[in-house]
Structure 1
Amino acid sequence: MAQNLDALVPIMDGQPVIPVIVIDDAGSAAPLARALAAGGLPAVEITLRTEAALDAIAAIASEVPEAIVGAGTALDAGQYEAAVAAGARFVVSPGFTPDLADAAEGSVPLLPGCVTPSEIMAALAEGYTHLKFFPAGQAGGVAYIKALASPFSAVRFCPTGGVSPDNAGDYLALPNVVCVGGSWVAPKEAVAGGDWDRITALAKEAAEWG
């Protein structure tokens, strides 16, 4: 097995912040993605936590060519496959299992979550070097990820969970962090109210960290 780095690395390298979105209304997905892309954040992760998620992914994939839509919170192979069928171009999971790795073999790239050294070693054994670190704040934050750099020099992380404008720069300054995931660039009230200009402005601020 091996991670599809040819497809994944350009996404992770392409922007310092990947918006992580819980969406309740698929109708707002396309304008939201356009607003984020206009601000310099074309890649967006739609979490599979609501009934609207797959429809939202499909809407972005078909209506917003400038966006790179991904799916988050994929817990098993079935969810991975459903997300890919909807049009996801990358899939993110809070954990790592051989089942998920099998589903992603030779297909849409998977960014699995790992926190402990044993989990990271298991991922490396399957050919995975780019990992999500979740929940970043609760698991030890910047200091923890910094400590992983020496024993796991080949691994690169995308911390998510507890990442905010107050600490995103600290994470991004670490040599083993490629990008971070965060929800602050698309506040729920802004999405619900269709305040796309505000979301574009927040995206521009986040994109400048790159």
Structure 2
Amino acid sequence: MSLAEKTRVLDRLFARSCLLPVISIDDLSDVLPLADALADGGIETIEITLRTALGVPAIELLSRERPTLCVGAGTVLNKEQFQAVQDAGAQFVVTPGCTDTLLQCGLNSAIPLLPGVATASDVLSGYQLGYRRFKLFPAQACGGVSLLKAFSGPFADVRFCPTGGITLESAGDYLALPNVMCVGGTWMAPPALIRARDWVAIRRLSQESVSLM
């Protein structure tokens, strides 16, 4: 699959849902009820991070048990993790930053990569290889809406998924920008609610987020 084809895959995925919950799993038994609560609230694309040791097993479980869900892998830091999440069934990969190795992995992989960027130089590193879709991270800390507006000039054909510090209240400001295809964050499934296994509250937050967006 060419990089242009992978860009089209990402566009289709995020046209399906412009909200991307960023999830870290501490207990594998939480994975399916959490995914079901999000789906019941209208969100069927999620990012499972590798911030815990259960990231890859969670992706494997969701790929097997919830095949209609679109599952991405986040916080991928090296080529070994990239290969592991691809083997586990992830449909896309998200990284917190971009290195030459990770960008090359994305060129050679069977699934799309959304490289993390924070500066114009970061964007250029991927742009020169053909990347046109990026994750802006940490969005709020590195300039947020103002930075994305500035990027729209030199990078007119690039679109972003800002993540980091975004809330229900600020998500709409990002999605109003033409160069934003989706927003990611934890507000749809806060860690405290996951630990409490309050699936009803997570479903309600998802519904509220979808209705506002």
Match of 1:196 in 2: 199
**Cα offset, 1:106, TM superposition:** 4.6
Match of 1:72 in 2: 74
- Aligned to 1:108, the other structure's residue is in SS state coil
Distance 2:190 2:88 in 1: 24
Match of 2:46 in 1: 44
Q: Could you state the TM-score of these two structures normalised by the residue count of structure 2? A: 0.94
Q: After alignment, is 53-62 or 188-197 more displaced?
A: 188-197
Distance 2:44 2:137 in 1: 22
- Aligned to 1:158, the other structure's residue is in SS state strand
Match of 2:161 in 1: 158
Match of 1:179 in 2: 182
Match of 1:145 in 2: 148
Count residues in correspondence: 210
User: Is the 1:29–1:57 contact (alpha carbons within 8 Å) kept by the matching residues of 2?
Assistant: no
1:64-89 deviations in Å (ceiling 9; x for gaps): 12311111010111111111111111
Q: CA RMSD in A?
A: 1.4
Structure-to-structure mapping, 1:43-62, within 5 angstroms: 43-62=45-64
Amino acid at match of 2:112: P
Structure 1 runs not aligned, ≥5 long: none
Distance 2:142 2:179 in 1: 16
User: Is the 2:46–2:70 contact (alpha carbons within 8 Å) kept by the matching residues of 1?
Assistant: yes
Q: Does 1:127 align with 2:135?
A: no
Amino acid at match of 2:33: P
Match of 2:208 in 1: 205
User: Is the 2:20–2:183 contact (alpha carbons within 8 Å) kept by the matching residues of 1?
Assistant: yes
Residues 150 and 86 from structure 1, CA distance in 2 versus in 1: closer, same or farther, beyond 3 angstroms?
Answer: same
Amino acid at match of 1:93: T
User: Is the 1:131–1:157 contact (alpha carbons within 8 Å) kept by the matching residues of 2?
Assistant: yes
**Cα offset, 1:100, TM superposition:** 1.7
- Aligned to 1:181, the other structure's residue is in SS state strand
User: Is the 1:22–1:50 contact (alpha carbons within 8 Å) kept by the matching residues of 2?
Assistant: yes
Amino acid at match of 1:184: W
Instruction: Calculate percent identity across the aligned residue pairs.
Output: 44
**Cα offset, 1:16, TM superposition:** 2.0
Match of 1:19 in 2: 21
**Cα offset, 1:103, TM superposition:** 2.1
Q: Does 1:113 align with 2:120?
A: no
Q: After alignment, is 29-38 or 42-51 more displaced?
A: 29-38
Q: 2:31 aligns with which of 21, 29, 33?
A: 29
Q: Could you state the TM-score of these two structures normalised by the residue count of structure 1? A: 0.95
